[in-house]
Structure formats: C-alpha cells, structure tokens
Amino acid sequence: MSEKTPIADLSNFDFDELCGAFTIEPGVAYLNHGSFGPSPDVVRRMREQWSEQLEREPMQFFVRKLDTALDTALESLGEFVGCKPGNLAFVPNATVAVNVVIESFPLTAGDEVLFTDQEYGSVIRGWGRKCSRVGAQTRLVRLPSPPSSPAEIVDALVEAISPQTRLIVISHITSVTATIFPVAEVCRAAHARGVRVCVDGPHALAMIDLKLRDIPCDYYCASGHKWLSGPFGSGFLYVASNAKKGLEPAVLSWGKSLSGRPNRWQDEHHWFGTYDPAPYLTLPTAIDFLKSVGIERFRSQTHALVRFARQKLVDEVGAVPLTADDLQWYGSMVTLRLPQVATASLPPGVPHPLSLQLWEQYQIEVPIVQWRDAVHVRVSCHLYNTPRDIERLVIALRELIGNSPSGP
C-alpha cells in the first residue's frame, strides 16, 4: 500500500497536559505502550496502598476483606467491559487466561484449532503443545494484507473451517500488525457452524469501546497493564455462561473462598496460593483515571498521534502501511513495513539490530518486528507521548536507514 495524505491535525490536543501524570525515565522516548504500558502515578500509589494493607494484617486482609474487595473490583471491570461480573475472573495477564482455556478446552485426536497468521506467537505455542498431547492439530489461515474490508477477514476464516475444526483463536487487535479484527462477526459466523471462539484481547481493553455483551465469544482473554494502564499483573478471563463447565484453573489450590462464603467458579482462579492481589484491586483506579481524563479524549488523542506517526513515516522514511487509514483498522497503535531494512536471522527473543540501534543511539523504545519476511516498526502512544517523540523517531530512522519515499 502506498499513499501520501495530509499530516494529521494535532491542534485540538494539549499533549503536554497529562505527561506529568506518569513518571517516565527522563530522556527516553517511550513508544512501546503496547508491550509494557507504565501506569499513571495515581494507579501506582493505589497499588502500594493495597499492598500496605496486606502487609499490615494478612489474616484480616485475606480472610475477611479480600472476597468483598475482589467483588467490588469485578463490578467496576464488568461495567467497563460491558458484561456481568459473574462472567469474569481475575488472572495475572492474557497469557494466563489463554492457558486456562488451553488446559480446559476439550480436544481429541483429529480435532483442529484455527488461527490467523497474525496471532501472537506464545498463544500458538501453547495451543500447539495441547494439540500435540492429544493428537489434534493447529492450522494457520493466511489473511490478505492489506485487507480490503472486515468481511474479507471473516470470509477467509469461514472458508478455512473444516469438519474437524473445534475452535477459532483470534486476536481482537493483533500484536504484530496492530490491526483491529472484526471479532464479533467472526464469532457469529463460527457459532453458526458449530465452532467455538477464544478471543485474545489484551490490546482492546480501553483502546476501543469494548462491550463483551456485543461479542458472542466463548472466551475472552485480556491484560490490564496495556491500554488501560493498570498495574502489571492485572488481567481477566471472560467466560460465557455456557462455557464454564469443565473450566480448570491454571494452578490448582483449595478451589474455594477463604472467607467461607458459598463457592463461585472464580474462586478457583482468585485463590491459587498466597499472593499479592493488589494489581487486581487497583484496576478500578485505572478505570477511574481514564474516566477523569475522558475516555474519548484518550482514544482520539492517541489515535491522532499514531496517525501523525503513520503519515510521517510514510512520507519521510518510506514506510508502508498495512491497512487503510481508518479508525476501523487501527487505534492507539500502528505498524508499518520498512522495505529498505533487511531481515535478520535471529534466534527467538533476540531483538532486531535496528531496535538495538534506536535504543543505544537515540534512547527510543519502539519494537522492530519481522513478519512475512519483512521488517516492520510498531508505534504505540499513550497520554504521556507527544509529537516530539514521533519527530525523534522519524529523525532517527532517517539517519539510520535513509529516506526512500513511497510516493504519492
């Protein structure tokens, strides 16, 4: 895809107003909220207060207060994500949530689990291990890039469904390409064919208007430390009412409430041994922080900034977008191909040399990822980012890889 469009209008936003709400290392241009999103100071302080309560009187906290505090936090989260709190359980992150589904989902020899070729690597790895144990298989569906419409993505998955397909695992917003997928439509199409759906959704929470009541999935897995800017170690698993049977926790403990109240399905997940639940209990503070800023302001400001980055990288660095310039395709994070950068033969987990150069020479934190035999840059922005961060990135990339405009 090649395009040249007017630079985004940023005049409606005061990008410096909320920078002070976060404590970011001085001198660092942090453009990787999508991987590890730092919390605002008010959230960090509240997490510390919950931990302090625990440390002062652990018996009082665990046995007499925790159940009620978790219920209150689930109510706040359920309101925010548009579902009943009885369908939610706290887990440390989306990876744990996915693994709960992996260990619980019934698969037998010959069954099949479908993914897109943009699914997160650890998710594919986890399901691959499960399938190898039982004699099932995983299959990747190659999606068009760039997609012409959301229906094209739905059609590609529907056409791949076979009599052996039991489950589709799909990202709501992909990690590698930052693309928003039409997961509600995928769920409806899959259910019509007797196939269940697990949505991997860590990037959707707060970045878009997530209402789980409108997404007929069986499972939804999310992390609170990304766009919601909750503490590290805060995530949730949503389970549809008809999918709770047979669900097993990631870690088997007592499986009941410490306070002695009647058991609930969440108890298996909320008590997995002694731990600090402060991240879970602080999620309402993260929600309140975004509400105080204005959730629509957060979304429009961060989208405008990544759109600015997208256009600058296209026009000044020769980057190539992976989708059309439209809110239906990307929100607070965008990925572009860098055609002039060569791929590198790297062991898993080893960063691309360009990523190291950006950090070591310019103190810019931004992922450089390889996908489909090409190198890409993924830019994500939050309320502490400003156009100056984008300008730093553009200047650094021009100096490191030169300028190869993609044309009008």
DSSP 346-394: --TTPPPHHHHHHHHHH-EE--EEEETTEEEEEEE--TT--HHHHHHHH
- Taking alpha carbons only, the member of 89, 127, 34, 119 closest to residue 219 is 89
- Taking alpha carbons only, the member of 129, 54, 66 closest to residue 99 is 129
| pLDDT value for 308 | 97
Judged by phi (left if over 0) then psi (alpha if -120 to 50, else beta), residue 363 lies in: left
At residue 1 the predicted structure's pLDDT band, cuts being 50, 70 and 90, is very low
Q: What percent of the chain has pLDDT over 90?
A: 88
Ranges 76-90, 196-210, 343-357: which has the least confidence:
343-357
**Cα 240 → chain centroid:** 20
What does the pLDDT look like over 271-300, one tens digit per residue?
999 999 999 999 999 999 999 999 999 999
What does the pLDDT look like over 342-373, one tens digit per residue?
888 877 778 899 999 999 999 999 999 999 98
Largest CA distance in the chain: 67
User: 282 with 230: CB under 8 angstroms?
Assistant: yes
At residue 2 the predicted structure's pLDDT band, cuts being 50, 70 and 90, is very low
Residue 132 above 90 pLDDT?
Answer: yes
What does the pLDDT look like over 317-331, one tens digit per residue?
999 999 999 999 999
- 312's tokens: 């600058």
What does the pLDDT look like over 213-259, one tens digit per residue?
999 999 999 999 999 999 999 999 999 999 998 898 888 888 888 89
| pLDDT value for 408 | 31
Q: Distance between CA atoms of 96 and 361, rounded to whole angstroms?
A: 35
| pLDDT value for 246 | 87
Residue 316 phi, psi dihedral angles, 5° rounding: -110, -15
Q: Distance between CA atoms of 391 and 377, rounded to whole angstroms?
A: 15
Which pairs count as long-range contacts for 20-25, CB under 8 Å and 24+ apart, including other chains?
A: 21/289, 21/383, 21/384, 22/382, 22/383, 22/384, 24/384
- Stated as kind and residue range, the H or E segment containing 183 is helix 183-191
Mean of the per-residue pLDDT values of the chain: 94
| pLDDT value for 90 | 97
The b/e string for 101-119 (b: 16+ C-beta within 10 A; e otherwise) is bbebbebeeebbbbbbbbb
| pLDDT value for 5 | 56
Mean pLDDT score, 93-111:
96
User: 373 with 403: CB under 8 angstroms?
Assistant: no
Q: Distance between CA atoms of 30 and 376, rounded to whole angstroms?
A: 17
User: 127 with 107: CB under 8 angstroms?
Assistant: no
In whole angstroms, how large is the CA radius of gyration of the chain?
22
| pLDDT value for 403 | 61
| pLDDT value for 343 | 87
- 99's tokens: 């693994």
Ranges 26-30, 127-131, 323-327, 403-407: which has the least confidence:
403-407
Residue 165 above 70 pLDDT?
Answer: yes
179 residue type, one letter? T
| pLDDT value for 145 | 84
Residue 406 above 80 pLDDT?
Answer: no
| pLDDT value for 6 | 61
